[in-house]
Amino acid sequence: MRAMVLNTAMLPLELERRSIPQPGPGELRLRVLACAVCRTDLHIVDGELPLPVLPIVPGHEIVGVVEALGAGVEGHRAGDRVGVPWLGHSCGCCAFCIEGHENLCDAPRFTGYHRDGGFASHVIAEAAFCMPLTLPETDAARIAPLLCAGLIGWRSLKAAGEGAHRLGLYGFGAAAHLVAQVATAQGREVYAFTRPGDHEAQAFARGLGARWAGGSDECAPEPLDAAIIFAPAGQLVPAALRAVRKGGRVVCGGIHMSDIPAFPYRWLWEERSVSSVANLTRADACEFLDFAQAHPLQVHVRTYPLRQANEALDDVRAGRIEGAAVLLP
């Protein structure tokens, strides 16, 4: 098999040939059809997150075909198409897991972080965390971004609340381009904030249903009910607080962000709140994939051959992509 491996943080991934692994008990071996590139992969490669395992194969938005089943696997068959998200394992017995918050598990294993991920031709995944894919879309490249950009976007949208009719999205990358469509389909109004001067991204947002699009240095034309921040820029937190109405919510959707600058308490006052979204649960995945089944989303992708993973990461880092970057083995 082939894999793009992170051996040292802040250095490029290296192409390696390895022998094809055998699935252990409860695991599946998948032939990877496509794996999208997430901003979290950038934070891993750039050493902005602690790295518990090196070398590691990144990639946690995997669409694959079941090739081999480990002992005791039920509910999957060879040839099935499945998706592998970021949550690759939860313990099932900590207080968070027991209360249905497996996204906050005390002993999780994340795909492409604790265990090798999908920047590869093959991957081993825990069967219980592989999501069956029965979407009308058949192009694996257009399904892969749903598995993190879509899922985290969905969880962030739930955190924004059902009352968030006027919704701001800060950072219009892979996640926002999907959330904008979900929110619009739910009858909400989307206000998209991009890097100042990024008129292409603003036109892209309008084309996906945003009622308004502008730079993150601009004021929203209406007070917002909630805002979701996908860009990893801490200065957007006070900016978003100033854009939401009394009682408005600001949800940070990313795993890493630069420091949030100090701001006057009155920007938070009047029951505005700031929260973060961490990881996902399998229930989120089922809900979102059901939604995507009923409301087909336009998934914009730029595909790269697996060996060009470093170029794909560079393009995500520079914001050069409309939608999501996807690696094809």
What residues make contact with Zn ion under the rule CB under 5 A? 38, 40, 90-91, 94, 97, 105, 148
Instruction: Closer to Zn ion by CB, 213 or 301: give it.
Output: 301
Instruction: Closer to Zn ion by CB, 91 or 185: give it.
Output: 91
Lookup: tokens for 2: 């082939």
Instruction: Closer to Zn ion by CB, 243 or 277: give it.
Output: 277
Alpha-carbon gap, residue 42 to 20, rounded angstroms: 26
Q: For residue 215, which of 207, 226, 231, 114 has the smallest C-alpha distance?
A: 231
Q: How many angstroms separate the Cα of 261 from the Cα of each of 169, 215, 234, 272, 276?
A: 20, 19, 7, 17, 16
Instruction: Report yes or no: 5 and 16 within 8 Å, Cβ to Cβ.
Output: yes
CB of 97 to Zn ion, least distance (A): 3
Lookup: tokens for 55: 């070398």
Instruction: Closer to Zn ion by CB, 62 or 69: give it.
Output: 62
Contacts of 322 (CB under 8 A, 6+ apart): 177, 200, 201, 204, 300, 302
Lookup: tokens for 19: 């022998």
DSSP for residue 145: G
CB of 248 to Zn ion, least distance (A): 26
Instruction: Report yes or no: 28 and 80 within 8 Å, Cβ to Cβ.
Output: no
Alpha-carbon gap, residue 244 to 249, rounded angstroms: 7
CB of 102 to Zn ion, least distance (A): 6
Instruction: Closer to Zn ion by CB, 105 or 297: give it.
Output: 105
Instruction: Closer to Zn ion by CB, 13 or 239: give it.
Output: 13
Q: What is the CA radius of gyration of the chain?
A: 19
Query: What is the residue whose two structure tokens read 């992509």?
Result: 321
Instruction: Closer to Zn ion by CB, 48 or 218: give it.
Output: 48
